[in-house]
Amino acid sequence: MSEVDFKLNTPVAFIIFNRPDTAQRVFNEIRKAKPTQLLVIADGPRTSRPGEDEKCKQTRAIIKQVDWDCKVLTNFSDVNLGCKVRVSSGLDWVFNEVEEAIILEDDCLPDSTFFKYCQELLEFYREDERIMMISGDNHLFGKKIIGDSYYFSQNAYIWGWASWRRAWNKYDVTMKIWPQVRDDKGLERIFDNKALRKYWTHIFEEVYHGKIDTWDYQWVFTCFLQKGLNVTPNRNLISNIGFGDGATHTLDDHAITANMAVEPMKFPLTHPQFLINDLEADKIVAQDIWKVKLDPKYKRMAKKIRNIINRLIHC
Count CB atoms within 10 A of the CB of residue 199. 19
- At 238-291, the pLDDT tens digits run 999 998 655 454 445 567 888 899 999 999 999 999 999 999 999 999 999 999
Give phi and psi for 309, each to the nearest 5.
-65, -40
Is 4 a member of any domain? no
Supply the pTM of this predicted model.
Answer: 0.91
Q: CA-to-CA distance for 192 and 283, rounded, in angstroms?
A: 12
**Total domains present in the chain:** 1
Closest to 257 (Cα-Cα) out of 144, 139, 150: 139
Is 6 a member of any domain? no
Is 136 a member of any domain? yes
50: left (phi over 0), alpha (psi -120 to 50) or beta: beta
| 237 DSSP assignment | -
Residues 207-217 as b or e (16 or more Cβ within 10 Å = b):
bbeeebebbbb
Q: CA-to-CA distance for 136 and 213, rounded, in angstroms?
A: 24
Count CB atoms within 10 A of the CB of residue 104. 27
- pLDDT score for 243: 83
Q: How much is the average pLDDT of 218-238? A: 98
Q: Is-contact 31 8, C-beta < 8 A?
A: no
Whether 305 has a pLDDT exceeding 80, the answer reads: no
| 24 CA to centre of own chain | 20
Task: Return all residues near 218 (Cβ < 8 A) that are at least 6 apart.
Answer: 88, 171, 172, 173, 174, 175, 207
Is 240 a member of any domain? yes
Residues 172-189 as b or e (16 or more Cβ within 10 Å = b):
ebebeebeebeeeeebee
Q: CA-to-CA distance for 73 and 82, rounded, in angstroms?
A: 21
Q: Quick check: helix, strand or coil at residue 1?
A: coil
In the chain, % of residues over pLDDT 90: 85
| 275 DSSP assignment | -
For residue 74, what pLDDT band results from cuts at 50, 70 and 90? very high
Q: Is-contact 162 118, C-beta < 8 A?
A: yes
| 205 CA to centre of own chain | 21
Helix (H) or strand (E) holding 133: strand 131-135
- At 28-54, the pLDDT tens digits run 999 999 999 999 999 999 999 999 999
Q: CA-to-CA distance for 246 and 74, rounded, in angstroms?
A: 23
Query: Which CATH number do you get for residue 55?
Result: 3.90.550.10
Whether 136 has a pLDDT exceeding 80, the answer reads: yes
Q: How much is the average pLDDT of 89-108? A: 98
Angle at 140 between CA 308 and CA 292, to 5 degrees: 85
Q: How much is the average pLDDT of 69-86? A: 98
Is 3 a member of any domain? no
| 125 DSSP assignment | T
Is 130 a member of any domain? yes
Q: How much is the average pLDDT of 148-173? A: 98
Alpha helices, H only, the chain:
20-33, 52-61, 82-97, 114-124, 165-168, 178-183, 194-208, 216-225, 279-288, 296-314
Is 104 a member of any domain? yes
pLDDT, the chain, mean: 92
- pLDDT score for 310: 53
Domain that holds residue 100: 12-314
Is 7 a member of any domain? no
